[in-house]
Amino acid sequence: MVEDNVMDLVDKGLMLPLMEEFYTIQGEGYHKGTAAYFIRVGGCDVGCHWCDVKESWNAETHPPTAVDQIVDHAAKYSNTIVVTGGEPLTWDMGPLTEGLKARNLQTHIETSGAYPLTGIWDWICLSPKKNKLPEGEIYEKADELKVIVYNKHDFIFAEEQAAKVKEDCILYLQPEWSVREKIVPMIVDYVMQHPKWKVSLQTHKYLNIP
């Protein structure tokens, strides 16, 4: 049972349920190939059936951790910090990102946009999910839109989402890993026919790194 004062600090974003943190290479999207420190925050109720981090869903299984401690760790490893989940916007990202910016670190977020945008971000990767569509404001702020393609209908969903982002938002189609052999050729064809899109692959999985 988490104590009330800890719950209060989590509510204020001063503590976050930390699932894991690690220094690796960003494998996906615009910054792929860049060394970055990942902060994976627990908690997500979006419920994607193909989710590859289902262990993140239940926030109660991840220890509430002071954001000052998370910032101290991150600053030792990299100038580029990627906050991911779970769904990080479940929580108030203000205190964490203020701490990271106070150290002059680049703040990147990977989010489904299912909850209102909080925090100070240098790069927003919006990866919307059909189960729980993004809240309005994030469409105008997203720097990249990354749509995971699991089946043919996801191309229609991708176009619907692309119609909502700003003009210079970079558009990616990424195969869901478990069906990549079937989906990659479909994405290749689609991108050649609709070149406003680019292909994103989970290169970290091919590299066998986290």
According to the binding rule CB under 6 A, does residue 21 interact with ligand SF4? Answer: no
Is 166 known to sit in a ligand binding site?
Answer: no
The CA-atom distances, in angstroms, between 153 and each of 10, 92, 131, 160, 181 are: 38, 33, 14, 11, 17
What phi and psi, each to the nearest 5 degrees, are found at residue 126?
-100, 120
Interatomic CA distance for residues 200 and 208, integer angstroms:
17
83 binds ligand SF4, rule: CB under 6 A: no
Residue 9 CB, shortest distance to ligand SF4, in Å, is 23
Taking CB under 6 A as the rule, does residue 176 contact ligand SF4?
no
187 is annotated as contributing to ligand binding: no
- Residue 112 binding ligand SF4, by CB under 6 A: yes
Closest separation between CB of residue 50 and ligand SF4, Å?
A: 7
Angle of helix 67-75 relative to helix 94-102, nearest 10 degrees? 40
Total chain residues near ligand SF4 (CB under 6 A):
12
Q: Could you say which residues in the range 30-59 bind ligand SF4, by CB under 6 A?
A: 44, 46-48, 51, 53, 56
Candidate list 87, 92, 144, 154; residue touching ligand SF4; CB under 6 A: 87
Nearest to 119 by CA among 133, 106, 129: 106
28, 201 Cβ separation under 8 angstroms: yes
Q: Which residues bind ligand SF4 (CB under 6 A)?
A: 44, 46-48, 51, 53, 56, 85-87, 112, 129
